[in-house]
Chains A and B, each alone.
Chain A
Amino acid sequence: MFAGSNLEKVLTNGHFAVTGELGPMMGTDLEECLEHAEHNRNHVDAFNITDNQTAVVRLPSLVTAIRLVDRGMDPIMQMTVRDRNRIMLQSDLLGGASCGVKNFLCIQGDHQLLGSEPQAKGVYDLDSTQLMSTIRKIRDENTFIGGGELQAPLDAFIGGVVNPFADPFEYRVDRLEKKIAAGVNFVQTQCIYDMDRLKEYMKRVVDKGLHEKCYILAGITPLKAVGAAMYMKNNVAGIIIPDEIVKRLKGAKNKEGGVKQEGLKIAIEQIQQCREMEGFHGAHVMAIAWEEKVPEIVEGVGGLLPRPKFDD
């Protein structure tokens, strides 16, 4: 056990993990975000806290993660390398850990040009792979990047992301292997819609035995509307939405429950399929601006409730 977070316990005990996602607010009041967390706390094992996602200014993931710890929930603190240099990344790591945060997820972060402050200077002192190796070094060798020793040790369950839908496709499995070499303990995938490509990716992952070296969570985002699907299909780099998904959503317009119900149904089916697929250890449900539907999705999958509980 690296850090003993709830997520780590769920995974190491062989349960199919379920994680949720919370986007901190764009102002000084975190209440809405905390309400989502309370609403979903019995349906997920941990909450991914986004770090100024899509490069839009928000309350810090650090602060939000600490607020969750205070409420007895298990946060996964996202850390992008976009906005902080190695001094601040290491400092925030200490800050989070000192307040009980145990899961740290290393990502590159969407480029600043795509967000609310396109004139910002990107930092990128480290990349996400280097951040993983840095956290491992701090944890396992009790040493900062610069060589100095920590006055008190760090416990960390190190997370990362993988994108089977980005290019070049044939490199993507090697990239996961590289992240494992850098010290990642668990990864979440980018939003899954293209099952054929996912199956091919997971087959290669399993052939290399990578699923035995790192926990892999399937990234699931329910689609709320045809427009949202089309936007992601055409505008978000690294997300593939097959035509059949769009067709299915469109076809549900006149059905009972409409497009939204169909979107939830697709998400439930995707989790079921990933659960059947060799290599996955859990699902990461990213119900963006639709957090209240997480219980319905988790219940819909079947066999996931109640979530395992562990004594501290």
Chain B
Amino acid sequence: MIIGERKPLEEIFDRTASFKKILVLGCETCVAVCLAGGKKEAEETASSISLHRKEESKPVEIKADSIQRQCEYEFVDEIADLVKDYDVVLSMACGVGVQTLAEKLPDKFVLPGLNTQFLGFPLEQGVWMENCQACGNCVLDMTYGICPITRCSKSILNGPCGGSSEGLCEISTQDNEIACGWHLIYERLKVLGKQEYMNEVVPLKDWSSSFHGGPRKIVREDVKIVRGE
């Protein structure tokens, strides 16, 4: 899922300072599950803004609400009337949600309340870790379930590099231990009897399917709705 983290409150106070009517809008999908931007977090954020404004003697009209998914038009449509009463929507969704709102609300200010961090999973209560970079050309079939693009700090395809030591990456620190992704892959392939992959020279990756070709788009003719039918 998409993992987010609320922006520092000071930053939120600063960016919303000029607005008198604020709607703090949570999203009940990924960011609610990772405890960053659901209804509860939207309410907490609204309370903090309200309190801060009282202290500054600059009262604000503020409401917290949430919708199921800010990343789909049909859910965003539900709040079309509600937003009319506000100057700004502080979206507690990921960047996808913020931009979907902006698309649907062309005359309304939309601000992000979160820093969208990564695609990942909860490692344990209160700890989330990235494990996919959506590179557009999955190699997990070769490494049998551990992503070198994400788990290797250099995203190399022929690893591990010379900085791998005792299972840790060269950027690992005492405070932030980072496993060497290629060491993990090596151990996994060994268990599965597939370590011969480690001996192949893996060819250059086509990054055009990834982060560097403008916004990626998928068109599926088989599921498109043809107007008039």
Seen from chain A, the residues whose Cβ lies within 8 Å of a Cβ on chain B are: 81-82, 86, 108, 110-111, 113-114, 122, 124-130, 133-134, 145, 161-163, 166-168, 171, 174-175, 177-178, 181-182, 190, 237-238
Contact = CB atoms under 8 A, between A and B. Distances in A.
Contact of A128 (B161, B165, B199): B161
Interface stretch (B10-18, B79-87, B128-136, B148-156): B148-156
B62 interface: no
Given A111-B171, A125-B207, A168-B183, A238 B163 contact: yes
A162 B157 CA distance: 17
A234 to B, nearest CB: 11
- Which of A110, A122, A127, A145 has the most chain B CB atoms inside 10 A of its CB? A127
Contacts of A128: 156, 158, 161
Residue from the set B153, B164, B186, B207 with the largest chain A CB neighbour count within 10 Å = B164
Given A108-B162, A166-B164, A171-B186, A238 B204 contact: no
B198 interface: yes
Contacts, number: 101
16 contacts: A108-B154, A108-B156, A113-B171, A124-B154, A127-B158, A130-B202, A163-B162, A166-B161, A167-B183, A168-B183, A178-B200, A181-B199, A181-B201, A182-B201, A237-B168, A238-B164
B157 A127 contact: yes
A133 B158 CA distance: 12
For chain B, the bracket of interface size reads 20 to 34
A58 B187 CA distance: 37
B204 A86 contact: yes
Contacts of B200: 178
B170 A174 contact: no
A82 B165 contact: no
A145 B204 contact: yes
A163 B187 CA distance: 19
A181 B171 CA distance: 29
A108 to B, nearest CB: 5
A81 B170 CA distance: 16
B187 A130 contact: no
A133 B201 contact: yes
B164 to A, nearest CB: 5
B145 interface: no
B8 interface: no
A63 B9 CA distance: 48
B158 A130 contact: yes
A166 B158 contact: no
A238 B159 contact: no
Nearest to A162: B162
Contacts of B169: 111, 237
B59 interface: no
A167 B199 contact: no
A107 to B, nearest CB: 8
A174 B199 contact: yes
Contacts of B207: 125
A166 B167 CA distance: 9
Contact of A166 (B163, B172, B187): B163
Nearest to B166: A167
B154 A168 contact: no
A116 to B, nearest CB: 15
A97 to B, nearest CB: 21
A54 to B, nearest CB: 11
A166 B165 contact: yes
B180 interface: yes
B154 A127 contact: yes
A182 B197 CA distance: 14
B162 A190 contact: yes
B157 A130 contact: yes
Given A124-B156, A167-B180, A178-B201, A114 B162 contact: no
B158 A238 contact: no
7 smallest CB-CB distances across A and B, nearest first, come from: A163-B162, A127-B156, A129-B158, A237-B170, A237-B165, A108-B161, A237-B163
Contacts of B162: 108, 161-163, 166, 190, 238
Contacts of B154: 81-82, 108, 111, 122, 124, 127
B214 interface: no
A122 B202 CA distance: 20
